[in-house]
Amino acid sequence: MRCRRGVRSRDAVPVLLSVLLACLLAFHSAVPDMAGRPGSLLETFLPWLAAAFPALLVVAFLRRSPVAACAVLLPVTVWACVFGDRLLPPPGTAGDDLTAVTHNISDENPDPAAAARGLAASGAGLIALQEVTGAALPELTAALEPRYPHHAVVGTVGLWSVHPLADIRRVDIRPRGIAEGWDRGLRATVRLPGHGDVAVYVAHLPSVRLGWDRGFGTAHRDESARLLGAALSAEPLERTVLLGDLNGTVDDRGLDPVLARLSPPRSGMAFSWPTSFPVARIDQIMARGATVAEVWSLPATGSDHLPVAARIGF
């Protein structure tokens, strides 16, 4: 009996840790978003809970516990169920009708023209940019205009297109407490050959901040997401594409008002931030009435974000 009790004691801690990890992966939405927004913080880095798997195996080895080692299969299986489809080859679509790119080009980019030429080399039909400054705009336009003769800029967001644009207007996603002149949303109709009109939104939601005093500060981002979700809900065109820096991942509940109206990519992780060691995709391409079949990141451009590209099928 003493031996059996020893085995149970030796197994208990690593087994409980495996069960806890599996529960966080499967039921992350149950983590309350109270002060400090721990739920959103967890969901931002949710895929990286997989980094705990090797540590759990090491603990099981050190404790010489086959039971604990087998228990690691539980969170591994849950992780595969939650994220495995993003690692699979992209599903087929009726046609790869459009390639789109979104990029926070950074208002501190040392060479925006070179960055724009790199994006144009992707062959995308649409390029959406955020943090477009007045000083950089002439350089960006000159670099992109040979391939993208149609463009629209509102505030610090812009859209360059191979295809004609119409019905260009500002989208008000400014949260309360932010001064007038903060323009980070636009909407345009893209006249897509063979498919008619497609509504394209470009948005840059407010940044989030992490600090010991306030936790994960997402209040402005979340309010802006609600305003963007309302605009998408009112959009009359069924075929709608959103491109932008949303400062949140598709697992983050703060983007639920947007995800309730649009579908995220089916395949690809495409971590885009920060450039030095990307840990999250906060730059998003989503659609309604279309399929974002695959998303991937492009080479660095001098920004602190990587560009994100996607195949969209109608």
pLDDT score for 289: 96
Q: Residue range 10-22: average pLDDT? A: 91
- pLDDT per position as a tens digit, 217-269: 899 999 999 999 999 999 999 999 999 999 999 999 999 999 999 999 989 99
pLDDT score for 74: 97
Q: Residue range 171-191: average pLDDT? A: 96
Q: Residue range 169-192: average pLDDT? A: 96
pLDDT score for 10: 73
**Residue from 217, 205, 148, 137 nearest 174 by CA:** 205
- pLDDT per position as a tens digit, 123-142: 999 999 999 999 999 999 99
What is the spatial distance between Cα 156 and Cα 32, in angstroms, rounded to a whole number?
A: 34
Q: Residue range 144-162: average pLDDT? A: 98
Strand 283-288 to 291-297 pairing: unpaired
Q: How confident is the model at residue 211 (pLDDT cuts 50, 70, 90)?
A: confident
Q: How confident is the model at residue 8 (pLDDT cuts 50, 70, 90)?
A: low
- pLDDT per position as a tens digit, 38-56: 999 999 999 999 999 999 9
- What's 307's DSSP letter? -
HSE-CB at 37 with a 13 A cutoff on CA atoms is 21
Measure the N-to-C terminal CA separation of the chain; round to a whole number of Å: 66
Q: Is 95 a residue whose pLDDT tops 60?
A: no
pLDDT > 70 fraction of the chain, expressed in percent and rounded: 95
Residue pair 195/168 in contact by the 8 Å Cβ criterion: no
Superfamily of domain covering 98-313: Endonuclease/exonuclease/phosphatase (3.60.10.10)
pLDDT score for 101: 98
pLDDT score for 35: 77
Strand 157-161 to 126-130 pairing: antiparallel
- Largest separation between any pair of C-alpha atoms in the chain: 81
- pLDDT per position as a tens digit, 269-283: 999 999 999 999 999
For residue 124, what are its two tokens? 């995308």
Q: Is 159 a residue whose pLDDT tops 80?
A: yes
Q: Which parts of the chain are beta strand (E)?
A: 98-104, 126-130, 150-154, 157-161, 165-170, 185-192, 196-204, 209-211, 215-217, 240-245, 283-288, 291-297, 308-313
pLDDT score for 1: 37
Type of residue numbered 130: Q
Q: How confident is the model at residue 12 (pLDDT cuts 50, 70, 90)?
A: confident
Q: Is 3 a residue whose pLDDT tops 50?
A: no
* Domain segments of the chain as ranges: 2-87, 98-313
Residue pair 252/44 in contact by the 8 Å Cβ criterion: yes
For residues 95 and 89, the model is more confident at: 89
H or E element in which residue 224 lies = helix 219-234
Show the DSSP H helices in 27-125 as ranges: 38-44, 52-62, 66-71, 73-87, 112-120
pLDDT score for 7: 47
Q: How many helices (H) and strands (E) does the chain have?
A: 9, 13
For residues 38 and 2, the model is more confident at: 38
pLDDT > 90 fraction of the chain, expressed in percent and rounded: 83
What is the spatial distance between Cα 67 and Cα 6, in angstroms, rounded to a whole number?
A: 13
What is the spatial distance between Cα 197 and Cα 240, in angstroms, rounded to a whole number?
A: 9
